Structure 1
Amino acid sequence: MLDRKFVNAKIMDGTGAPWFRGEVAITEGRIVDVGRTVAGEAAETVDLGGRVLAPGFIDVHTHDDLAVLRDPSHAPKLLQGVTSVVLGNCGFGGSPSTPERHEDLVRYVTPVLGPMPSGVWHEFGQYLDTLSTSPSSVNAVSQVAHGAVRIAVMGFENRPATTAEIERMCALVSEAMQAGAIGLSFGLLYAPGCYADRRELVAVASAAARAGGILNCHIRTEGDTLLDSLTEVMDIAEAAGAPLHVSHLKVVGKRNWGTIGRALDLIADRRARGLDVTCDIYTYTAGSSTLLSVLPPWVSAGGSADVMARLADPAARERIRRDMEGNLPGWDNFAGMLGWDRVVISGVESEANRRLEGVNIETIAAERGQQPIDCMLDILLEENARVTMILHQMSEEDVKAVLRSDFAMVGSDGIPLETGKVHPRHYGTFPRMLAHYVRKERIMSVEEAVRKMTSVSARRFGLAQRGLIAEGAWADLVVFDAEKIQDIATFEDPRRYPAGLDGIYVNGRLAAQGGTPSAERAGKLIRHRCACCGPQDQLVCN
């Protein structure tokens, strides 16, 4: 007998083909039959009443590395219809680590990943083992983060790595790949990734590539020198022999809006020349990051005490002011490109500053009777530099252009903090794709949008036999009403779950229904080239 049969479904199979009315049968977590009609009795028959049945959405750009452990229901993603997440992005990760530099790693990741657990994952494989033995409601695949690797070897030192240090970093990447990492991520905007030179970056990327891994890059700049930064990572990928994925492709700054086509053309040209390069994008015109990333990179060098000392030092503050009022080469001056009114505090640690969440720096500075730069530096001092922000930085037409491109897929880039006014993308990215860009703006068909959120992503990030409604595929499925699906989260009230999604199934088990997670924790850790399973790619381990 079948475990479950879906009938009267509008099937969008993830390939982009037109939907068809049909039935789907699942047994033991997998799809066993798809067609106009499916034979056989089932323990449960679900009549979808003409609603869409699609593969579960895959969030290719998350910072959920610790969130899936803190709250295994992972409701902000699950209730969007997300059934799989890609971890370890932008150079941020909780492992590898060393006891002597663990506090540096905590300082680095906490504003983006949220609180670190007690204890240290010295080896990346230990982190994956924790994911494997603590299943969440969603599947997960992880990259190893260059930022964590560099911190483990040399902390936040602002200098090129020595040959011995590069060899150690390569060994850590190789160990992570052997343990099951899908690839390596760079965060070249952030310290310490921004301190790495080409020699180091090519070497660590090569270590990942030799094990069949992907290179995933938050590029160095996304504003005035976007094309230079894209060229840099494409050159690194070519030299390393690695397939390349560009994180959250965009162009920042009002003076640059309308020029994203040049970046898309540059990628298309490299693809035509043989480089396997893709990108992702979130479905909003605002981004989110750490407030520290507004400052010149030199400010973040050294340990936490060094950073805090600079923030308080009048001479260092004057240097910061000069750099932000000038034009520091190779650095995105977000405040200069956007204006302080577009830099919004989204998360702080202290209750004393909680009222600042959701307010822009220009307004806070006026209330305090300060210049915006001094106001920002004081907030960082007050919060031990652990502050997140939202940047209203992109144009709607540029977002549409990237979404339409043949090599783009969807990722939320949500920051899963438990307090503050987080970016609404953590709760609404995938429903917004269907509600805003498909139903309202009509930039593509529903079927094509589903393809960009499912099979394209699964193929790129090695989630074998996922992202499709096909015989033999894992039964990660989402049921939604194409006319009613809607993101509800806003910048003012971001922790609101979307509407119009009905049933969400992970590995054949009901994970959520009617906007409420079930007690099931059916998600699996997916390892790349898992040592215990042999040399085949993308096998599932428990």
Structure 2
Amino acid sequence: MGPYLLGALVGKDTKNPLDAGFHVEHEFLQSAKLDLSGTGQGDGAGGDWADLFSPDFMVHYLVYWTTRPDYETFLQGLPVLGKDGTLARIQVNSPAAGHVFAKTGTFGSEDRLNSKLMLNGKGLVGYVMTKSNKKLAFAAYVNHVTLPPDMEAAQSVAGEALGEIAAAAYDSDLGSSGAASAEESYDLLIRNGHIIDGAGNPWFAGDVAVSGERIAAVGDLREAHGKREIDAQGRIVAPGFIDMLGQSEVALLLDNRSLSKLSQGITTEITGEGGSIAPQNEKTIAPMKPFLDRYKLTIDWTTLDGYFKRLEKQGTPLNIGTYVGSAQVREAVIGDDDRAPTPAELDHMKALVEQAMKDGALGVSSALIYPPNIYAKTDELVALAQVASQYGGIYATHMRSEGASEMPALAEAIRIGQEAHLPVEIFHLKVSGKSRWGSMKNVAAALQNARDSGLDIAADMYPYAAGATALASALPPWVADGGIQKLLGRLKDPAVRVRIKQELSTDHPNWENLFYDCGGGAGVLISSVEKPELKQFEGKTVEDVAKAWKKTPDDTLMDFVLADSAQTGAIYFMASEEDLRTGLSQPWTSIGLDANEMSLDGPTYEAHAHPRTFGSMPRFLGHYIRDGHLMPLEAAIRKITSLPAQREHLEGRGLLKPGYYADITIFDPATIIDHATYVKPDQLSEGIDFTIVNGQLEYDHGKLTGATAGKVLRGRGWRPGPDDARP
């Protein structure tokens, strides 16, 4: 209740209500015996530079209220974190939701010169009921922060920052000593480890205690005991590894054991590259029919929320977050046609992105070398990214080129981030094509320049010089215009094949010529096929097949795509070790496998998958960090824990801290290494002892426990429905 209303209603002065209101307010505060030196107020309307209420004053003010007989009425009038009022959309995924009762206040101004909002001040003050039922008063402020010009997005970003502070108070149980007593017992106690907390700090010797799904304590816990104890002598205890680009959204519905990921210490996967698991309709489902028929899988959802609920019902061993794909919404509205959307179609696409963001998407993604995403112009992508920005999302992209036109492609990604006012993530950063090897330093410099100019842009990589995608992706994009059936029809046309051959032999600036970048058929390996009669060629290069078929490599490429109905997977050898090391050494790169989960005896198993499927994280830590001395181990752990958690706003993950989720990986730094090769890509890595997800042991020295403790990770735009259970 502001001074105006106080003056009119309490002071009963309708002529000078402001002065009367300040008089009433002053007397009330004096009667509470509060120190007013930390206060000041110049205008009852708010947003005045003279307004000042220090955190110390606010805490004492809140404590005073607990002594009053009308305290419960006062408390019930406060918004509740993640539940209602101005805090309904803040920290909805946090265990603190429903336990923080607080009021926000915002003072902002418009920076028209730079098209930004200046958050001069935002506060959150109130009470938190900790997990041990202690009542704490708190006051938290953020000051002088520049934010995107959209007010709702700005409020969301600032509100989340303050909400995280409140949630931390709930989790860490401030006010308790934090020391373990002799009687203290935990569900899991990890002793004697070298703890790397994920923030880049030097390792320290200590113990980690877990209660339920959370880390309860970190430090010297020698007097405590656990229901289960692990001796981590000589081992690194780190936060669970985060895969910044997985492809497991469908695979998890077919086989949710995830040996390939858990055996690498991965506890969380981010997925949804261009195409995504939702939205779904008849246009998006039709091209998947061969796959769906093969695995007898039914898509019984249309929205991201529907998929999440199915996954939660089935159970997942991994924490899963996803983007909504710009390719997915394009296909859902336009189909596979090479044309721009009409204004009405673009509005429909934007509405689908908005719904996905409200369902919990982390942002919007693109994969611009693949149809139909390749047909999208920059303005279309900006329009969709602007929707994601309004809900605190990011823009993640497989750029339009990683070869001849990589710099213009990077410039496009930067433009989208700048015009849509949101962070940018570059998927699997690389330099393709032998003629361009050595130029990663130029790409990294351009990306760093964008960061220096104020754009929050970063990238992920996999630690291999070869990539993998569909064999049909080696064809010019116009061949796929209209969908798979039209593609297959064109491959039967002799005149079309002549044109394709000509384009395959050219370093084309307008599309990613993977066949050319790999040096022809010798650089393209067949990794998976659909038709049984073609299985004999898995693990062979296109050149090997060409010799067997007595054809040229380009004819073999087209004939193989035709014979396997465009369902073939391939590995492309197109990058250099020097560029790989240059990219991995940047402080803003993380690791993404770009591979779905699988188990050796599961339905999604591929005998000739890319070795990154089973080897990425141990290869990074063993080959590049321990043996290659690319950076200190602590910096490397940050790249695969807190860095991706920070970029995706994964609350309570990425660090070993009390109150954080107990996603933990325990490994031997002396032996960790990958064993997967291009010839035998399904070999398990060495050195990962334990993988723990949300407090439950899921991988133990080469064996799966069968636990499915993973969670769906919803983004900041999530709007829970009335039937959604609160975390």
TM bin, normalised by shorter chain, reads over 0.9
1-side partners of 2:639 and 2:726: how far apart? Answer: 26
| 3-state SS in 1 of match to 2:533 | coil
1:532 aligns with 2:720: yes
2-side partners of 1:311 and 1:146: how far apart? Answer: 27
1:97 aligns with 2:280: yes
Contact 2:213–2:696 (CA under 8 A) maintained in structure 1: yes
Contact 1:245–1:278 (CA under 8 A) maintained in structure 2: yes
More off after superposition, 213-222 vs 438-447: 438-447
Distance change (3 Å), C-alpha of 1:280 and 1:106: farther
What are the superposed Cα offsets for residues 401-420 of structure 1, whole Å, 9 maximum, x if unpaired?
Answer: 11110110111112454234
Instruction: Map 1:472-511 to 2 at 5 A.
Output: 472-511=659-698
What amino acid is the match of 2:527? Answer: S
Instruction: Map 1:50-61 to 2 at 5 A.
Output: 50-61=234-245
What are the superposed Cα offsets for residues 331-376 of structure 1, whole Å, 9 maximum, x if unpaired?
Answer: 1212222212111111111111111111111121122111111111
Instruction: Map 1:321-400 to 2 at 5 A.
Output: 321-339=501-519, 340-400=521-581
Q: Counterpart in 2 of 1:452?
A: 639
What amino acid is the match of 1:216? Answer: A
Contact 1:415–1:423 (CA under 8 A) maintained in structure 2: no
2-side partners of 1:27 and 1:215: how far apart? Answer: 36
Larger radius of gyration: 2
Contact 1:83–1:476 (CA under 8 A) maintained in structure 2: yes
Distance change (3 Å), C-alpha of 1:161 and 1:62: same
What amino acid is the match of 1:194? Answer: I
Paired residue for 1:42, among 226, 229, 249?
226
What amino acid is the match of 1:24? Answer: V
User: Taking CA–CA contacts closer than 8 Å with sequence separation of 6 or more, which of the two structures ends up with the larger relative contact order?
Assistant: 1
1-side partners of 2:467 and 2:201: how far apart? Answer: 32
Q: CA deviation at 1:304?
A: 2.5
Instruction: Map 1:404-423 to 2 at 5 A.
Output: 404-416=585-597, 417-423=604-610
| 3-state SS in 2 of match to 1:140 | strand
Q: Counterpart in 1 of 2:311?
A: 131
Q: CA deviation at 1:92?
A: 2.2
Number of residues paired by the alignment? Answer: 533
What are the superposed Cα offsets for residues 411-435 of structure 1, whole Å, 9 maximum, x if unpaired?
Answer: 1112454234000101110011111
Paired residue for 1:517, among 676, 693, 704?
704
Q: Counterpart in 2 of 1:246?
A: 426
Instruction: Map 1:76-115 to 2 at 5 A.
Output: 76-89=260-273, 91-106=274-289
**Cα RMSD (Å) of the superposition?**
1.8
Q: CA deviation at 1:533?
A: 8.1
Contact 2:283–2:335 (CA under 8 A) maintained in structure 1: no
2-side partners of 1:377 and 1:115: how far apart? Answer: 26
Q: CA deviation at 1:490?
A: 1.1
Distance change (3 Å), C-alpha of 1:165 and 1:38: farther
Q: CA deviation at 1:58?
A: 0.4
Contact 1:132–1:541 (CA under 8 A) maintained in structure 2: no
1:171 aligns with 2:355: no
Q: Counterpart in 2 of 1:68?
A: 252
Q: CA deviation at 1:450?
A: 0.9
TM-score when normalising by structure 2: 0.71
1:301 aligns with 2:481: yes
1:5 aligns with 2:198: no
What amino acid is the match of 1:99? Answer: E
Contact 1:105–1:151 (CA under 8 A) maintained in structure 2: no
Contact 2:405–2:509 (CA under 8 A) maintained in structure 1: no
What amino acid is the match of 1:496? Answer: Q
Q: CA deviation at 1:101?
A: 4.5
Q: Counterpart in 1 of 2:140?
A: none
Distance change (3 Å), C-alpha of 1:472 and 1:116: farther
Q: CA deviation at 1:120?
A: 4.1
Q: Counterpart in 2 of 1:466?
A: 653
What amino acid is the match of 1:188? Answer: L
More off after superposition, 229-238 vs 37-46: 37-46
What are the superposed Cα offsets for residues 485-517 of structure 1, whole Å, 9 maximum, x if unpaired?
Answer: 121111111112111111111111111101111
1-side partners of 2:395 and 2:296: how far apart? Answer: 25
What amino acid is the match of 2:275? Answer: F
1-side partners of 2:618 and 2:403: how far apart? Answer: 28
What are the superposed Cα offsets for residues 134-169 of structure 1, whole Å, 9 maximum, x if unpaired?
Answer: 221111111111111111101100111111111111
Q: CA deviation at 1:88?
A: 0.7
More off after superposition, 327-336 vs 436-445: 327-336
1-side partners of 2:208 and 2:725: how far apart? Answer: 23
1-side partners of 2:632 and 2:295: how far apart? Answer: 40
Contact 1:476–1:507 (CA under 8 A) maintained in structure 2: yes
Contact 2:621–2:636 (CA under 8 A) maintained in structure 1: yes
Contact 2:404–2:507 (CA under 8 A) maintained in structure 1: no
Q: CA deviation at 1:473?
A: 0.8
Q: Counterpart in 1 of 2:410?
A: 230
| 3-state SS in 1 of match to 2:516 | helix
2-side partners of 1:423 and 1:148: how far apart? Answer: 25
Q: CA deviation at 1:222?
A: 0.4
Q: CA deviation at 1:124?
A: 2.1
Q: CA deviation at 1:327?
A: 4.7
The runs of 5 or more residues in structure 2 that have no matched partner are 1-184, 598-603
Distance change (3 Å), C-alpha of 1:164 and 1:115: farther
| 3-state SS in 2 of match to 1:525 | coil
What amino acid is the match of 1:446? Answer: L
Distance change (3 Å), C-alpha of 1:518 and 1:101: closer
Q: Counterpart in 2 of 1:200?
A: 380
Distance change (3 Å), C-alpha of 1:482 and 1:378: same
Contact 2:251–2:596 (CA under 8 A) maintained in structure 1: no
What are the superposed Cα offsets for residues 37-56 of structure 1, whole Å, 9 maximum, x if unpaired?
Answer: 35433222222122111111
Q: CA deviation at 1:71?
A: 1.3
Q: CA deviation at 1:283?
A: 0.7
2-side partners of 1:146 and 1:100: how far apart? Answer: 14
Instruction: Map 1:251-270 to 2 at 5 A.
Output: 251-270=431-450
What amino acid is the match of 1:250? Answer: K
Aligned sequence identity (%): 35
Contact 1:526–1:540 (CA under 8 A) maintained in structure 2: no
1-side partners of 2:726 and 2:525: how far apart? Answer: 42
